């Protein structure tokens, strides 16, 4: 069996004339913490939607946990947890009802679902709102209930689209701790985030997508050393002598290869 628990070949998604994801070859080692980075509109959410069966690829293939995405989608869905871009919550359920519904949907027995629901509600500090309808939750509370739903069945891979966006500092720390525990227990986390400080603290591996092309992939150390550049990188750039230190510098060095155009606001001059 492959050492990669997520592996894509030429994965592509086209919307009309736009190639949102362009023949990407993602390789995620089992048990790693993979940060999928890229500017707004680069194709991160589209990729996550394809890998989790929410959106059909236009071309290409993917294997998740050694299973074929197209042929074995149901089995894959049982073994992954997802926080998608749009959250997709049942607004007319309470938080507690929603978690109970999700747990039962995964075939878990009532007692286990009840125990895990209680623990997740406490962990996410949602006690006060557990019996309120989700439609009345704040943005951060919706994020926390969506994350709880992704955790409840103890999946092997977590696909999390911007899990920290809009979440307060206390919850963010708790979520980070939980995710690190999961990875220590050999689960794999695949997340997108624009908060590079958090990604730097958590992730062991990084993929950088820009305009639909995977421009870099590898362990953080490899990317710091200038390795891992994809086919889309300009020739002659591999192994560039300057060694970026922070993840932000690494990220910017990949997405701003062509130089940064200077934009100004005329009324501020
Ligand atoms: N359903 C759709 N129909 C048409 N175009 C789409 C659709 N979904 C996404 N796109 C386009 O595909 C491109 C990639 O979008 P995507 O949401 O994957 O970006 P992203 O990397 O997640 O960005 P962000 O950081 O802003 O969340 C964008 O140009 C977007 O406008
Ligand atoms: Mg997105």
Rounded distance from Cα 42 to ligand 1 centre (Å): 7
Q: pTM for this one?
A: 0.91
What single string gives the DSSP state of each residue in 32-55?
A: -EEEEE-STTSSHHHHHHHHTTSS
User: Rounded distance, CA 25 to CA 57, Å?
Assistant: 13
Domain ranges of the chain: 72-191
Q: Which ligand is nearest to the CA of 22?
A: 1
Sole residue written with tokens 């701003």:
256
DSSP 3-state percent helix, strand, coil across the chain (nearest 5):
35, 25, 40
Ligand 1 centroid to 18 CA: how many Å?
10
Nearest protein Cα to ligand 1, atom 16: 43
pLDDT for residue 154: 95
CA 129 to centroid of ligand 1, rounded, Å: 32
**Given this model, what pLDDT does residue 243 score?**
63
Please identify, by atom number, the ligand 1 atom nearest to the C-alpha of residue 209. 21
- Sign of torsion, CA 182 189 164 37? positive
Give CA–CA dist 102/195, Å, rounded.
Answer: 29
Q: Which residue is closest in CA terms to ligand 1's atom 25?
A: 40
**Spatial separation of the C-alpha atoms in residues 227 and 239, rounded to whole Å:** 6
Runs of H (alpha helix) within 157-246? 169-184, 196-202, 220-224
CA distances from 4 to 8, 31, 34, 75 (A): 10, 9, 12, 17
Q: Whose CA is nearest to atom 30 of ligand 1?
A: 41
SS3 of residue 245 by DSSP:
coil
Per-residue pLDDT of the chain (269 residues; tens, 9 = 90+): 578 999 999 999 999 999 999 999 999 999 999 999 999 999 999 999 999 999 999 999 999 999 999 999 999 999 999 999 988 899 999 999 999 999 999 999 999 999 999 999 999 999 999 999 999 999 889 999 999 999 999 999 999 999 999 888 988 998 899 899 999 999 999 999 999 999 999 999 999 999 999 999 999 989 888 766 654 444 445 445 566 688 999 899 888 875 566 788 989 88
Nearest ligand for residue 161 CA:
2
CA of 198 to the centre of ligand 1 (A): 23
| Nearest ligand by distance to the CA of 38 | 1
* Residue among 13, 16, 43 to mutate when testing ligand 1 (max atoms within 8 A of CB): 43
Q: Which fold has domain 72-191?
A: Rossmann fold (3.40.50)
Residue 10 pLDDT: 98
Q: Going by CA atoms, what residue is nearest to atom 26 of ligand 1?
A: 40
Q: Which residues line ligand 1 (CB under 6 A)?
A: 15, 18, 20, 38, 40-46
Tell me what pLDDT residue 81 has. Answer: 97
């Amino acid at each position: 069996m492959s050492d990669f628990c997520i592996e894509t070949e030429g994965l592509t998604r086209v919307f009309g004339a736009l190639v949102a994801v362009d023949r990407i070859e993602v390789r995620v080692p089992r048990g790693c913490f993979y940060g999928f980075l890229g500017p707004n509109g680069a194709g991160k959410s589209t990729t996550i939607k394809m890998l989790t069966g929410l959106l059909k690829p236009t071309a290409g293939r993917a294997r998740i946990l050694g299973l074929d995405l197209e042929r074995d989608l149901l089995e894959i869905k049982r073994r992954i947890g997802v926080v998608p871009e749009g959250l997709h919550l049942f607004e007319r359920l309470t938080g507690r009802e929603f978690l109970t519904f999700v747990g039962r949907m995964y075939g878990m027995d009532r007692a286990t679902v009840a125990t895990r629901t209680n623990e997740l509600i406490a962990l996410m500090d949602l006690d006060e709102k557990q019996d309120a309808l989700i439609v009345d939750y704040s943005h951060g509370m919706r994020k926390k209930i969506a994350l709880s739903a992704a955790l409840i069945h103890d999946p092997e891979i977590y696909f999390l689209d911007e899990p920290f966006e809009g979440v307060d500092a206390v919850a963010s720390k708790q979520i980070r701790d939980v995710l690190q525990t999961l990875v220590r227990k050999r689960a794999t986390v695949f997340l997108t985030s624009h908060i590079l400080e958090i990604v730097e603290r958590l992730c062991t591996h990084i993929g950088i997508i820009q305009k639909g092309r995977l421009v870099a992939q590898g362990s953080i150390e490899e990317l710091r050393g200038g390795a891992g550049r994809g086919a889309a990188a300009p020739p002659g750039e591999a192994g560039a002598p300057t060694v970026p230190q922070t993840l932000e510098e690494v990220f910017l060095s990949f997405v701003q290869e062509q130089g940064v155009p200077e934009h100004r606001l005329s009324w501020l001059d």
